[in-house]
Amino acid sequence: MNTNNTKNVVAIVLVAILSSVITLFGYHMISEKGGKAVSDNADNPVTKEMGMLANSFGQDKDNVVLTSLTTDEGYPDFTEAAARSVDGVVHVKTKTIRQQQYINPFDFFFGFGDRLPAQPREQIGFGSGVIISKDGYIITNNHVVEDATEVSVTLNDNREFTAKVVGTDRMSDIALLKIDGDEFPYLTFGNSDALKVGEWVLAVGNPFNLTSTVTAGIVSAKNRGNVMGGSLGIQSFIQIDAAVNPGNSGGALVNTRGELVGINTAIYSQTGNFTGYAFAVPISIAGKVAADLKEYGVVQRAVLGIQVPNIENIRREDPERARELSQIKGVLVEDFTDRSAAKAAGIQKGDVLTAINNVPIRNFAELQSQLNRYRPGDKISVTVDRNGEKRSFNVVLKNDEGSTEITPRTDAATLLGATFKPLSDQQKRALGISSGVEVVSVDSKGLFRKEGINKGFIIMRMNNLPVNSQEDVDNIVAATRTREDKVVLIAGFYPNGRTQYIAIDLSEK
C-alpha cells in the first residue's frame, strides 16, 4: 500500500470517529433538552401549583411514564398513553328519582285539565369519571351525578363499587366521588397550561355506554369562552377535535404522556352527538375544585373585585367602542365591587390588567382561568398597564363577601335551623313510607320555623330526592346552594296529617 492510500484510509477513519463523537454529543444534548421540555421547571409557579394539587390527593409523580410519541415509521403513536389511561377511567352509573305529573285525559277532554298526583319514576344515567388517587377519589362532571340517589362506578377490570358523592360544584360542572379501597390505578395531573394549540390529545371515556373508548385529536383552541351559552360559571375551556359523545362526560383528556390535562364536559353539536368540537375543563381548574371539595366541602373562590366592560352589550349600542375594547391586550378595569381587593391594593379605574404572577393575561377568559386556581387570602402579583406605564401590585384576594376567610361548608342543621333523626324500618312501615327523617328540634329564628315546619314533621323527600339520614339532608342542601334558584322543595307531613309541599329559599340565610 503506497503512502497516499494510507493517508486516505487514516483520513476516512478519523472522519468516521469524529462523526460518531458529534452524533453522540448531539444526541446527549437533545436528550437533555428533551428531558427539560418534558419535566417543568421546579421554580415555575404553575409547576408548584400542580405539585400542590397532586400532593393533596397523594399522587406519586413517579407514576408518570414517558412514552414514545412516534412509531418506527414516523406516525404518531398513542398506544402507551392509551394503555395507561384506560385503567384510570371508570364508567359511572346513576339512579335518579323524578316526579312526573300526569294529566287526567278524561278531565282534559272536558276542559278541566286536572293533574293526577305526581308519580316517582326512576331514571338511569351513564357517564365517565377519572380516578385521581390510589385510595379512590374520582373526578367527574356535576351534571353526571346531579340529583342522583345512587351512584356506582365500574373499573376497567369490571370491578363495581358504590360511590359516595363527596361534593359537587355546578359553576365548574365538577363533582368529586369516593370509592372504598386502596391501590386503585389512577391518572397523574399534567400541566394543562403547557398544552399548545395543535398538540395531540386523547379523550378516554364511555360514549354511548361503550366502555374504555379512546379517541384522538388535537387541541383546537385554549381559554375558549361562551361555551354552552355562557351558562357555566367558568369560561376557560380546552377545545379539542377528538370525538366526544354522550357518555364521555366526566372522562379524561390526556396528553401523549398519559397525564390528565382536562375533564371532558361538553360538545358543540346541533344533533346531540359529536360533529366536530368538544370542550374540556382544564385540570388546573378541575383539580383545584376537587381539592376544595375534598378539604372544605365547598369550592373556595377568590375574586379581585373588579368590573369589566361587557363587549357584547356595548357592541349593540356603540360598535366602534366595542371594536376598540376588543383590541385591548388585557382586561380593562371599568369599576370596582364593594370591598374590592384590587382597589385596596392600589389598582385604579382605566388600568389594563396584563399579567398575574407573571402569567400573561390577554382577555377575560385568561384572567378567570388564573383566578380560578386561587383561594381567598392568597397573595398574587398583578401587573397593569396604566397610561402606557407598567406597574405591579400585590393583591390579597377575597371571597364574594369581601373577606379573606375560607368559607366553611354550612351544615343543614345550622342553615335550616333544625335537627333530624332517621326513622327505623318499623316506623316507615307504620307510616306507609319508603323514606323519611323526623324533625326533632327547630330553632325559633331558623328557616324551618319561618315556613311553619315544627318538631315532629316527617320529611320524605327534598327536591324530589328521598332522605333517610342527616347526611342525605346535608348533601341535598349543599347541592341546592350551588344552584341559581337556591330553593329546596320539601315533601312531608305530620303524623295523621296531609302531605305538604313547602319551598324554602336558602338565599335568605
From CA 110, how far away is CA 10, in angstroms rounded? 110
Q: Pick the closest to residue 331 from 287, 364, 359 (CA basis).
A: 364
CB 471 within 8 A of CB 421: no
The C-alpha cell at 104 is 287526567
Question: Does the active-site annotation cover 411?
Answer: no
441 has catalytic annotation:
no
Are the CB atoms for 279 and 269 separated by under 8 Å?
no
Closest by CA position to 499, among listed 508, 490, 509: 490
Query: What is the maximum span of the chain, computed from C-alpha positions, in angstroms?
Result: 121
Closest by alpha carbon to 61, among 75, 47, 51? 51
Using only C-alpha atoms, the chain has a radius of gyration, in whole angstroms, of 28
Catalytic one among 143, 172, 193, 220?
A: 143
> 65: which 3 cell numbers?
411514564
Written as nine digits, the cell of 397 is 384576594
Measured between alpha carbons, how far is 62 from 293 in angstroms, rounded to an integer? 25
Cα–Cα dist 191/309, whole Å? 31
Catalytic site residue from 56, 249, 284, 435: 249
Q: Measured between alpha carbons, how far is 221 from 224 in angstroms, rounded to an integer?
A: 7
DSSP 362: -
Q: Is 56 a catalytic residue?
A: no
Is-contact 168 484, C-beta < 8 A? no
* C-beta of residue 131 within 8 angstroms of C-beta of residue 137: yes
For the residues of 238-276, what is the DSSP string, one character each?
Answer: EEE-S---TT-TT-EEEETTS-EEEEEEEEE-SSSS-SS
Q: Which residues are catalytic?
A: 143, 173, 249
